[in-house]
Amino acid sequence: MGAEPPLPREFEYPEALRGTKVFGKVRLRLFIDEHGILRKIEIVASEPPGVFDGAAEAAWSSVRFTPARKDGAPVKSQKLVELAYTPG
């Protein structure tokens, strides 16, 4: 079973871009240790490049996970997530 955040996550459109008509998405690879602590974030892809990267990293940086398990024991894992940003 893979690592999961304790609750469903909702992410807001970045305040600095409010009033713009910029749509975007960012795909991240999250590296989670056996204690459920996020140790590293890697940007896999983003559209438009670089615009939402900081907001996406900040959105996930403080999330604590239920660790992944293998044979009943907690293990390190990676999780691929994608955030879509739509101006509101």
How does residue 82 score in pLDDT terms, banded at 50, 70 and 90? Answer: very high
Say if residue 4's pLDDT is above 90.
no
Q: Which pLDDT score is estimated for 66?
A: 92
Nearest-5° angle of CA 1, CA 11, CA 22?
A: 125
Domain regions of the chain by residue span: 19-85
Task: Tell me the C-alpha to C-alpha distance, in Å, between residue 24 and each of 49, 63, 66.
Answer: 9, 22, 28
| CATH numeric code, 19-85 | 3.30.2420.10
Q: Which pLDDT score is estimated for 11?
A: 80
Q: Which two tokens stand for residue 82?
A: 């994608």
pLDDT digits (tens, 9 = 90+) for 58-77: 989 889 999 999 999 999 99
